[in-house]
């Protein structure tokens, strides 16, 4: 619907704008510079051909243009601006008391009966989870690597066999100036323009400058006309034939292909360069070793899998495959360290087949280089820890709860006294508390705790200019009493210029988005929508 609306409104996106968007897209750049070859490869990796990408981008830009038409037409009045500024730039004068956890209850002993009662009521919090320790054998590519030694004769034989693979490829690099046929130009017009371009080049003008000025291939024109490398098959046949007869940096006359008329320049020409044995011996050795390791690992992995199924213990596997039987430490269902943090290994260790039936596990491939087979050595059921082991922990829990309650009681006592009009000076002195005053604090103030600010700005000031009181408990269990003394209405005049501009921009954006949402809603309500299912040929 939006696309139809944009078309009905005669909105369009020029090819120039699409080209510019592609050229400026950082995902098509190398070191900050647009690269046409890289752009084409990137588009292909995302499932796009160049024409499909351009069309998709055009539709996106068209819809964005429609949305921008609404956002750019929105405006705010001075009254609205002042009202929002009054709220957003508002400040508040207040003071507050902080009552942190402390040592107020140290004089009160925690009895054995209290500890016992807490232990009895919360035993689920004092359990030792079930654990298992296992015997295991590990197949490791790194260990196989140490077994392999290659004879130099084998490396030389492989070098001779693959000599052609180590010859540098003959490649040519080209730039072009394209005059596309079928759009704005006929072939005759394109040939005439190509002749003009050739005249300018023959007169000494820079190829990249002429490409930028005349070429209809805007993407390559931004890169001096560069269209990348060819091994003799990458470009249209007419261009390949032209490159075959050009000397380095020589420029062709008009060349006609299925894309239009080109002026072509050969910019690089690399001949075959034979690589010596010394240059490639290390790479050949590395590749031969890697192939041998993969082969041995695959064979042993298959043997390990068969033996794990056929035998009931690891000793046979150890003897057959010359692998050490190792023993793990105890670990629970949340895992342990190293390989025992693997979810696949943990699941296997606690599986019915391994844990209850006592069988070997199947081969567990931890990663592409390591595989394990294991069985259970020892299983320990979950147990409740004895009281004497957790008594210190319970004492800390109970003391903390007592301190929280003491802080809350003191906060309630102070707040009640304030509400009754009683003096709290002695109460504050006895508890070493004092008011902290904040004048003109904004909604965002790095010098004041955010939880306190949030509470302050949620409060309303009573009539008759009397203070308002509130309380809260911070995330660190500190109790806070707040006294709000005044609310200072903000003004657009008090805002810095940049803040004022940001506020206007934000309001316009919000209004524009609101208008656009209303427009889309109206389109949906008034549109006649027809659904159709297209027949798709089977893949």
Question: pLDDT (tens digit, 9 = 90+) per residue, 309-337?
Answer: 998 889 999 999 999 999 999 999 999 99
**Residue 152, φ and ψ in degrees, nearest 5:** -60, -30
CA distances from 104 to 101, 114, 158, 476 (A): 8, 19, 83, 17
Per residue in 62-80, pLDDT (tens digit) is 777 666 655 555 555 656 6
Q: What is the pLDDT of residue 266?
A: 95
Flag the least confident range among 83-97, 295-309, 354-368: 83-97
Per-residue pLDDT averaged across 394-415, rounded?
A: 96
Q: Compute the average pLDDT of residues 108-120.
A: 96
Of 33-37, 125-129, 415-419, the least confident: 33-37
The pLDDT tens digits for 263-317 are 999 998 876 555 678 888 898 899 899 999 999 999 999 999 999 999 888 999 9
Cα(56)–Cα(85) distance, rounded to whole angstroms? 41
- The C-alpha angle with vertex 505 and arms to 499 and 509, in degrees rounded to 5, equals 145
- In this prediction, residues 95-110 reach a mean pLDDT of 92
Mean of pLDDT values over 34-42: 86
Q: How far apart are the first and last CA of the chain?
A: 30
DSSP for 204-261 reads T--HHHHHHHH-S-HHHHTTTTEEEEESSSSS-HHHHHHHHHPPTT-B---EEETTEE
């Amino acid at each position: 619907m939006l696309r139809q609306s944009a078309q009905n409104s005669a909105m369009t996106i020029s090819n120039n704008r699409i080209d510019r968007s592609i050229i400026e897209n950082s995902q098509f750049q190398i070191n900050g510079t647009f690269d046409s070859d890289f752009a084409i490869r990137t588009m292909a990796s995302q499932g796009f051909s160049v024409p499909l990408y351009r069309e998709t981008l055009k539709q996106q830009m068209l819809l964005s243009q429609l949305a921008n038409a609404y956002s750019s037409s929105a405006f705010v009045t001075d009254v609205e601006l002042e009202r929002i500024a009054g709220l957003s730039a508002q400040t508040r004068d207040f003071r507050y008391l902080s009552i942190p956890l402390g040592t107020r209850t140290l004089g009160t002993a925690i009895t054995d009966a209290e500890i016992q009662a807490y232990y009895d009521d919360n035993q689920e919090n004092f359990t030792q989870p079930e654990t298992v320790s296992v015997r295991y054998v590990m197949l490791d590519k790194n260990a196989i690597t140490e077994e392999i030694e290659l004879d130099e004769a084998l490396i030389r034989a492989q070098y001779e066999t693959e000599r052609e693979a180590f010859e540098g490829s003959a490649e040519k690099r080209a730039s072009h100036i394209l005059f596309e046929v079928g759009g704005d130009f006929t072939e005759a017009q394109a040939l005439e323009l190509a002749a003009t371009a050739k005249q300018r080049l023959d007169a000494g003008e820079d190829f990249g400058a002429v490409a930028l000025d005349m070429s209809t291939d805007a993407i390559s024109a931004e890169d001096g006309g560069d269209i990348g490398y060819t091994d003799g098959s990458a470009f249209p046949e007419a261009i390949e034939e032209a490159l075959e007869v050009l000397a380095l940096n020589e420029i062709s006359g008009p060349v006609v292909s299925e894309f239009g008329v080109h002026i072509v320049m050969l910019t690089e020409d690399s001949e075959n360069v034979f690589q010596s044995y010394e240059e490639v011996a290390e790479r050949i050795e590395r590749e031969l070793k890697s192939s041998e390791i993969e082969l041995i690992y695959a064979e042993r992995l298959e043997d390990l899998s068969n033996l794990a199924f056929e035998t009931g213990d690891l000793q046979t596997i150890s003897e057959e495959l010359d692998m050490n039987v190792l023993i793990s430490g105890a670990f629970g269902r949340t895992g342990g360290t190293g390989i025992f943090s693997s979810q696949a290994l943990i699941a296997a260790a606690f599986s019915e087949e391994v844990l209850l039936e006592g069988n070997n596990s199947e081969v567990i491939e931890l990663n592409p280089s390591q595989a394990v087979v294991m069985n259970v050595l020892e299983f320990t059921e979950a147990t409740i820890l004895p009281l004497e082991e957790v008594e210190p922990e319970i004492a800390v829990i109970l003391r903390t709860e007592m301190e929280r309650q003491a802080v809350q009681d003191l906060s309630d006592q102070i707040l009640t006294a304030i509400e009754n009009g009683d003096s709290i000076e002695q109460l504050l002195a006895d508890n070493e508390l004092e008011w902290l005053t904040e004048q003109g604090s904004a909604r965002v103030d790095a010098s004041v705790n955010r939880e306190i600010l949030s509470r302050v700005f949620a409060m309303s000031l009573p009539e008759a200019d009397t203070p308002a009181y509130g309380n809260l408990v911070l995330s660190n269990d500190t109790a806070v009493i707040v006294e709000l003394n005044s609310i200072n209405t903000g003004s657009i005049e008090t805002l810095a210029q940049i803040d004022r501009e940001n506020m206007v921009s934000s309001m316009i954006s919000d209004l524009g988005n609101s208008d656009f949402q209303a427009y889309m809603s109206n389109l949906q309500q008034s549109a006649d929508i027809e659904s159709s299912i297209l027949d798709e040929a089977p893949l």
